[in-house]
A and B are shown apart, each in its own frame.
Chain A
Amino acid sequence: MNIEVRQPERTAKARVGIFDCDIHPKSALEDLRPYLSNRWWDYLQTYGQRQRHGYVKGFPYPKSQPLASRRDSWPPGGGLPASDLNFMREQHLDLYGIEWGIMNPLSPTGQGEQNDELSAAMAFAANEDQLERWNRREPRLKASVVIPYENAELSVQEIRKRAGDRRFAHVLFLSRTSELLGKRRYWPIFEAAVEAGLPIGVHVFGSSGRPMSNTGWPSFYIEEITEHSASLAASVTSLIVEGVFERYPELKFVLIEAGFAWIPALGWRLDQNWKRMKDEVPHLRRAPSEYLREHFWVSTQPMEEPEEPDHVIDVMSWIGWDKILFASDYPHWDFDDPFLALPPSLSEERRNKIYSGNAKGLYRFD
């Protein structure tokens, strides 16, 4: 009499294979051992990582669920959520017909680590691990180029190692960088990404070392997760206003897990102020919203939930139906089920663009 639900109780809405721009595979630190020097392995065992928020394990804004994961994503055979490829296939990749998934590993990757060299060593190891433990066994899973983004020189080295390797989908940043992304210190990284023909994925979180709002430290986790769209807006603004896209017209960004409803209002605000104060930024030859439209893509997750469902359609049309990419965020708790996350009233054509057409146009691999 013990019945487990294996099949989802839903009709499959996707006719096309789904392109999932945000999956978080979980490797252990031990999995990186083959790719780390003795020096850095020993360092990690003794001193560990220091990631600007102070805790050895966990976070000062504790997550609402263990490892911020769906409670049903813990593999029955043991291990952490998204650590077991077979279970990931069963619960996610095969269940939903995921044709391609982009891995954005969050830990252990060394991103945001206080020590640049350790960060670079871990980035290299995380990239090797993605290829060996994940992509080789499951070619549907594409890798990100993890980089020690606070050090441009070391990041460029890592990108150049991976350039031309079509198993890599994009270069990965976390959103809370120690400076705004448009600042010159990051430009060599953009140059290398463009050289390599890779878009840049900016995924929320990380620790900048600064208060995580521009008015100090909030008290609650709910404030932390709500705030992501605001800080990402600051970096998007910076990239546009610093003229990064005049310098690198081929550069593309994918904004991951910050929602998207904030995008149109940001464009309108920047345009209004640019009209008045063009003289401050003579290097900008076009309105800010044009750079926003051309160089940025947004992922769907966490899907916006307005009180009136139609309102999200307004926003999606203002952003552009070709700029929206489906993402699940598997295995995290605010996961979007591909079959249920998109507004039901969307036409099949728009749905298919979001599920795969837009991503296929942006990411060049087959």
Chain B
Amino acid sequence: MNSALNAIDCDVHPNVPDMKALLPHLEEYWRATVEERGINSLETVAYPPGAPLTARPQWRGKNGRAATAVPELTTQVCDRWHADVAILNCLYGVNLLFSEDMAAAFTRGLNDWVAREWLDRDPRLRASIVLPTQNTEYAVDEIERCAKDRRFVQVLVLAMQEVPLGRRQFWPIYAAAERHGLPLGIHAGSTFRHSTTSLGWPSYFIEDYAAQTQAFQSQVASLVCEGVFAKFPGLKVVLLESGVTWLPGFLWRFSKFWRGVRSEVPWVDRSPAEIVRDHVRLTIQPFDAPADPDQVERAIDHLRSDAILLYASDFPHWQFDGDQRMPAGIPAGLHRKILVDNALATYDRLKSL
């Protein structure tokens, strides 16, 4: 059936219009809490609503928001850009809350909203299970609850956490994800437990957004060094909206140091570069491409893997202009892999397509 597929879009974003939209999906106590405490919005400054990156002008609705309903997304992503399947990664800020109970409740409501308002309305849509990483047990509960619905194809966490994701306190999440054949999706964004850079709070949003790649580097290092892939050999990780061109240089440095300092983490039994090529995938938007297509081709060479890139439009984020969703310079021979094959190999629950 593969040849019938045109594209699998691995990163698109439905937007919650406001907390009212989640009310039907919350338990009674939490509905009352939202109303009584005036909790109107969980939008985060990881994507300031008005910032150009957050949405192209022509995709914004009357309230300035994009992708608040199915047709807004599917006409662009599926119809215009030929995605047979699109994976919804909802970034509503439930992960910033400090109360573990509130976070878990709102996350349940959010995942149910995605299922009812999106997945139920268009068979081309799939989604990630947003996880309340504030509490590992609650996160595992949420995986068990949502995994029954096979339209959930991944579990989702944000790139900037309170502690690095490789830490053992998170391992029950990876056990559950591995058990269900769900990759761990790490998406750009922050729980805002720390400043957006390790040296403090930048003055400008451009800097905050640039800083996302630093988080991804630290997360990959953590997952490898803590032995997550040794412990959970079936686990795959997808880096969503991380950029692409940062990866080779990072792996060179990381692998070089591993060769000398290996005995500190002896369960890392082969080069980090090999482990990453086996277990980690990256979506292609943003690519952070050089202007010269020849350099793009060289940069792809540096990745040393045909299997690592996954197509994504990152709709409605504004990463490219027009329909130029595949950066110029990617060898034609890789297109099909990026558009379809690599996603099918990564997401167990898409294999039946």
Which A residue's beta carbon lies closest to that of B199?
Answer: A180
B232, CB-defined interface residue at 8 Å: no
Q: Which residues of B contact A277 (CB under 8 A)?
A: 51-53, 205-206
Q: Which residues of B contact A290 (CB under 8 A)?
A: none
Determine which of A208, A213, A226, A242 lies in contact with B257 in the assembled complex, contact meaning CB atoms within 8 Å: A226
Which residues 179-238 of B sit at the A interface, judged by CB distance below 8 A?
190, 193-207, 209-211, 213-215, 217-219, 221-222, 225-226
A208 and B199 within 8 A (CB): yes
Q: How far is the CA of A110 from the CA of B319 in the complex (A)?
A: 44
Q: Which residues of A contact B257 (CB under 8 A)?
A: 222, 225-226, 302, 334
Determine which of B196, B204, B210, B254 lies in contact with A266 in the assembled complex, contact meaning CB atoms within 8 Å: B210
Which B residue's beta carbon lies closest to that of A216?
Answer: B163
Interchain nearest-CB distance for A189 vs B (Å): 15
Interchain nearest-CB distance for A298 vs B (Å): 12
A182, CB-defined interface residue at 8 Å: yes
Most buried by A among B163, B210, B286: B210
B302 and A272 within 8 A (CB): no
Q: Which residues of B contact A229 (CB under 8 A)?
A: 217, 249-250, 253
Q: Which residues of A contact B205 (CB under 8 A)?
A: 277, 280
B203 and A234 within 8 A (CB): no
A347, CB-defined interface residue at 8 Å: no
A274 and B206 within 8 A (CB): yes
Which residues 297-342 of A sit at the B interface, judged by CB distance below 8 A?
302, 304-308, 311-312, 314-315, 318, 333-334
A218, CB-defined interface residue at 8 Å: yes
Interface residues of chain B, those whose CB is within 8 Å of chain A, are 51-53, 159-167, 190, 193-207, 209-211, 213-215, 217-219, 221-222, 225-226, 243, 245-246, 248-250, 252-258, 260-261, 264-265, 271, 273, 286, 288-291, 295, 298, 301-302, 304, 318-319
B211 and A261 within 8 A (CB): no
Determine which of B221, B255, B260 lies in contact with A218 in the assembled complex, contact meaning CB atoms within 8 Å: B221
Q: Which residues of A contact B190 (CB under 8 A)?
A: 214
A230 and B53 within 8 A (CB): no
A270, CB-defined interface residue at 8 Å: yes
A221, CB-defined interface residue at 8 Å: yes
Q: How far is the CA of A213 from the CA of B302 in the complex (A)?
A: 25
A311 and B302 within 8 A (CB): yes
Q: How far is the CA of A265 from the CA of B251 in the complex (A)?
A: 13
Can you list, as one digit per residue, whether each of A258-295 has a CB less than 8 Å from chain B (1) or not (0)? 01011011101111111011011100000000000000
Q: How far is the CA of A202 from the CA of B255 in the complex (A)?
A: 24
A213-B200 contact in complex given A64-B260, A218-B225, A265-B246, C-beta closer than 8 Å? no
Q: Which residues of B contact A222 (CB under 8 A)?
A: 221, 225, 254, 257-258, 261, 264-265
Q: Which residues of B contact A180 (CB under 8 A)?
A: 197, 199-202, 207
Most buried by B among A225, A276, A315: A276
Q: Which residues of B contact A215 (CB under 8 A)?
A: 159-165, 194, 215, 218-219, 222
Q: How far is the CA of A276 from the CA of B286 in the complex (A)?
A: 12
Which B residue's beta carbon lies closest to that of A181?
Answer: B199
B248 and A241 within 8 A (CB): no
Determine which of A176, A216, A219, A273 lies in contact with B161 in the assembled complex, contact meaning CB atoms within 8 Å: A216
A220, CB-defined interface residue at 8 Å: yes
Which A residue's beta carbon lies closest to that of B244?
Answer: A265
B222 and A269 within 8 A (CB): no
Q: Which residues of B contact A315 (CB under 8 A)?
A: 249
A178, CB-defined interface residue at 8 Å: yes
Q: How far is the CA of A311 from the CA of B219 in the complex (A)?
A: 24
A311 and B225 within 8 A (CB): no
B198 and A213 within 8 A (CB): yes
Q: Which residues of A contact B198 (CB under 8 A)?
A: 176, 208, 210-214, 227, 230-231, 234
A238 and B207 within 8 A (CB): yes
Q: How far is the CA of A124 from the CA of B214 in the complex (A)?
A: 35
A144, CB-defined interface residue at 8 Å: no
Q: How far is the CA of A178 from the CA of B200 in the complex (A)?
A: 7
A73, CB-defined interface residue at 8 Å: no
A219 and B197 within 8 A (CB): no
